[in-house]
Structures are given as C-alpha cells and as structure tokens.
Structure 1
Amino acid sequence: MRVDPGTGRLDANAGGPGTLPLSRRQRLFTNGRAPVMWGVLWGVGQAAAPLGFFWLDPATVYGMSIALIAAVYVGFAVADGRPAVITVETIVAGAFVVLAAAGVAGSAWLIVLGFVGHGLKDLWQHRSQYVANTRWWPPFCMTIDFVAAAIIAVAIVSGVTFHP
C-alpha cells in the first residue's frame, strides 16, 4: 500500500506481489466513509443535545454548540502553527460566535444558518486543506453540521419552538 498523493488516502491497489489486501474496516476508513458515517450519528446527537440540557432553551444549547464547534478550528490552527492560519480561523470562529448569539436571541433559522454555514466551511476546509493535518475531521464535522441543520429545520417547520 502507498498513499495516493492526489487524495492523501491509502491506495489499496498499490503494493505489489505479497501485499495483503485491506480488511473491510481498513477500506471503510481508507475511502473516507467512516468519518461520514460517524458524522451522521453525531449529527443526530447534536440535534438532540437540548434534551440533555432541559433547563436551557434549545436555541441556547445550539448557539453554544455552534460557538464550540467553530472554536475547534482555532485549536487546529494553533496546532498548524502558521500565524496567518491562526488569524483567519480566529476571525471565522468569531463570526460564528456572533451568528450563534444572534440565533439564541433571534430567529431559530439563524441556528440552521450557523450549522449550514459551518458545514460549508468544513467542505471548503476539506477541499483546500487550509489547516494542516485535519484530513478526516472536515468530512466528519460537515456531516454533523448538515444532519443537525436538516433535523432542526424540520423541527422549525413542524412548529417546534426554540424560545420560551
């Protein structure tokens, strides 16, 4: 096996005579499906998070989640070490904090916008590899964001209230 320079993934077809084929689990992670599958599970959990914080308004729980999710990339940027990356990721995280705060006090659709916006940022991050060493994280996080946004949007359309 070798790493495909185009995708950064292990190439199961490389290796030559005597190379053992990849197991089912190795193929699952090699082709990138595992982060997406785990992202669906975590996305459902993210959408259900207000149930664990029943004393808070759902909009508050989702707002805190968006701020926390955005801050994770600041940590990745610090690990990357490039000052420009740290600056950009901090500014982007700040924008998501403002959007999350607006969603806590305003329309629940701002929460959906926050999750969708962060999912799109994850998609860009995955394609550009702007922050180093985060190959599996963006597809995982993007899936969480889009699944949570879809569930929350369905809840809003169904008449669920996010503010008292």
Structure 2
Amino acid sequence: MPTTAAATPSGFTHRQLRAPLIWGVVFGVLQAASPLAFFWLDPATVYALGLTLIAAVYVGFAVADGRRHVLVVETVVASVFVVAAACAELGSAWLIVAGLAGHGCKDLWQHRTGFVAGTRWWPPFCVTVDWVAAALIAVTLTAQLLPT
C-alpha cells in the first residue's frame, strides 16, 4: 500500500491530510504576521488575543459535540490558554510561544483520540497553525525583534 493511502489513527489517509496541513502552514504564517495588521497594538497583545481565539474554537466544537464531559474538559483547557495569554501580556512573550506549542500538542492529542466528535480536519490544520506560528514567533523573539 503506498504511503499516501496509509490510514492515520483518526481515519484520515495521508493524502486527505495534505490540504489541512498546507492551509495550516499558510494560516500559521498569517498568525505570526498578525501584529502587522494591528500595528497600533503591542505585538504581545495581538498574539495573546489570537491564542485565546484559537483555544475558544474547541469550546464551540464541544457545544456541537453535545456531551457534557467534553464541554467541561474543553472549557477548562480553553481557560488555561486564556490565563497563559493574559500572563504573556503582562510578562514574557515566550509564554505565547509556549501557549501555541502547548495548544498544538493538545490538537495532536485531539487528532489521535477524536475526543471531540466532528472535528476530522480541524486538529491537523490547527496543530500546523500553532506550531508554525510558535516557531516563527520564537525565531522573531530570538532575533530580538519583539520585546521578551
């Protein structure tokens, strides 16, 4: 069986993952560049807002899923990312990198387990967005282009 036909644990084939991963890279780059669109705001503020919006998407998926325990878990997880974003706004921008990387890990877990029903293409897309943005922001911070 060719590599493109191999199934992943979530039931996707590698070929079906191609589009979410490509679009994830595109949106990850846009996420990293998002402070340019909101030039009047501090970049840490823009990234903090983005992290909270990204985390909140799963609350919507949990509502659509309809199971109470899924809604509780996803709300708690989203709350952790909101707190991380708030701390990053007041402290180090590296917390945004950690938050995005951590959210990517959460997305990977979601992709592997299917904890929230009906999200087939979203976790691979979102893990790619999160990790690409985290990597680009880390490079920017390392290059001292953003305040740490």
- The residue aligned with 2:4 is none
Equivalent pairs counted in the alignment come to 142
* Inter-CA distance 133–60: structure 2 relative to 1 (3 Å threshold): same
TM-score, scaled to structure 2: 0.91
Percent of pairs with identical residues: 61
1:64 and 2:49 aligned? yes
TM-score, scaled to structure 1: 0.82
Q: Is the 8 A contact 1:35 1:137 kept in 2?
A: yes
Q: Is the 8 A contact 2:10 2:114 kept in 1?
A: no
Structure 1 residue 161: deviation in Å? 2.1
- The residue aligned with 1:124 is 109
5+ residue gaps, structure 2: 1-6
1:111 and 2:114 aligned? no
Q: C-alpha separation between the residues in 2 aligned to 1:126 and 1:5? A: 9
* Inter-CA distance 153–8: structure 2 relative to 1 (3 Å threshold): same
* Inter-CA distance 9–142: structure 2 relative to 1 (3 Å threshold): closer
1:8 and 2:6 aligned? no
Q: C-alpha separation between the residues in 1 aligned to 2:9 and 2:146? A: 46
Q: Is the 8 A contact 1:57 1:162 kept in 2?
A: no
- Partner of 2:110, secondary structure, is helix
Q: C-alpha separation between the residues in 2 aligned to 1:7 and 1:68? A: 25
1:90 and 2:75 aligned? yes
Q: Is the 8 A contact 1:100 1:111 kept in 2?
A: yes
- Partner of 2:41, secondary structure, is coil
Q: C-alpha separation between the residues in 2 aligned to 1:7 and 1:63? A: 30
- Find runs of 4+ consecutive structure 1 residues off by over 2 angstroms: 4-10
1:78 and 2:32 aligned? no
Which residue of 126, 134, 139 maps to 1:141?
126
- Partner of 1:42, secondary structure, is helix
Ranked by relative contact order (alpha carbons within 8 Å, sequence separation 6 or more), the top structure is 2
Q: Is the 8 A contact 1:66 1:115 kept in 2?
A: yes
| CA-atom RMSD in angstroms | 1.7
Q: C-alpha separation between the residues in 2 aligned to 1:117 and 1:104? A: 17
What is the letter of the counterpart of residue 85 of structure 1?
V
